[in-house]
Amino acid sequence: MALLTFCYFSFIVPYLALIRIDVNLLFLLFSQIIALPEQTDIKLEIIGQAASNPNWAFFAPHENENVVNHYVSKRIQDKGGVFVILRQQGERLIHLNIEPFTVRIDPNRIFTQAGRRKNIIKLNPKLRENTYVFHRAMRRSASLAQLILNALGGKDNSRTWVAIHNNTQGFRGDDKQGIGDISIHLYHKKLTAGASFLAAVSEPVSDEDDLFFVTEQEDYAAMQRDGWNVVLQHPQVIKKANEDDGSLSVFAQKNGIRYINIEAERSTASFGENHFELQSKMVDYVLERLQAKLIQQVPSHSQTRH
């Protein structure tokens, strides 16, 4: 208030401008930036805080998949919890600068040791494993994973992780010029082909690219019942070495943490559309489910034995 009064009498700015200053100031107080100590251009934008109840942590690992980020930030401001956005150059991949090389990594493939190794090998085919650069890239990937996990509140399994992603229209090989590899139709093909990371895939409804990917049977059943596209990860991913890709969903399953990924279509080079409205509804739907669980957990009088 003192600051606002100071602004008003010092600069005589219009009233509406004062409101805007106030809102921005509140947002700044509500968000913080944390840099990776080993490479400070890799940053986490943290909105809210994991320590604040209610118990959910949202995470956006791919910086170019940001259709609904602003909306999620607003919801977290209203409802509590934390939203972590990974930032570097606005791209999907993170670039590790390990002189004189640049090592590319997918930040959603760094949460297990095996995943980090596969990730570096796949995206940097010329980099040999028994080199100093490879080892440093492994260590830096691990350090980034730890920074993210700390921001999400650690491995406390009373907290639900909600991932925010966007994907491209259709999928590669769909005979409709589709690109990418996320679609409820493609998950059906993979399930039919015997993919061991899948337990169940719902019957396709509405747009094939808008879907939930979850680890809990209960979420799968409810989302299917409520008319969404939904995919259930198979719990055997934690036992099968070839399914350990280092993604947050596999790491969540290993640690008994409830995980919900909210996927929706985005426009890519003018192909497809940003499904902002639909993805906002998916965010609200998830928040309602998470809040309902909180309410259930509060013991009520009717349950008390007399």
Which token pair is 144?
């980034």
Please choose, from the candidates 29, 20, 35, the residue with its C-alpha nearest in 3D space to the C-alpha of residue 47.
Answer: 29
**For residues 59 and 248, what is the distance between their CA atoms, to the nearest angstrom?**
10
When the beta carbons of 134 and 212 are compared against Zn ion, the nearer one is 212
Q: Which residues of 12-51 are buried (b: 16+ CB within 10 A; e: fewer)?
A: eeeeeeeeeeeeeeeeeeebeeeebeebeebbbbbbbbbe
User: H or E segment at 58?
Assistant: strand 56-60
Contact between 165 and Zn ion (CB under 5 A)?
A: yes
When the beta carbons of 98 and 245 are compared against Zn ion, the nearer one is 245
Candidate residues 62, 75, 109, 117; the one interacting with Zn ion per rule CB under 5 A: 62
Q: Which stretch binds Zn ion (CB under 5 A): 58-66, 120-128, 144-152, 253-261?
A: 58-66
Q: Which stretch binds Zn ion (CB under 5 A): 64-72, 95-103, 142-150, 287-295?
A: 64-72
Please choose, from the candidates 71, 74, 83, 77, the residue with its C-alpha nearest in 3D space to the C-alpha of residue 274.
Answer: 71
Q: Which stretch binds Zn ion (CB under 5 A): 47-55, 62-70, 230-238, 289-297?
A: 62-70
Q: Which stretch binds Zn ion (CB under 5 A): 55-63, 110-118, 203-211, 249-257?
A: 55-63
**For residues 277 and 274, what is the distance between their CA atoms, to the nearest angstrom?**
8
When the beta carbons of 48 and 107 are compared against Zn ion, the nearer one is 107
Candidate residues 45, 65, 106, 244; the one interacting with Zn ion per rule CB under 5 A: 65
**For residues 210 and 7, what is the distance between their CA atoms, to the nearest angstrom?**
46
Query: What number of chain residues touch Zn ion (CB under 5 A)?
Result: 3
CB of 65 to Zn ion, least distance (A): 5
CB of 248 to Zn ion, least distance (A): 10
Q: List residues near Zn ion by CB under 5 A.
A: 62, 65, 165
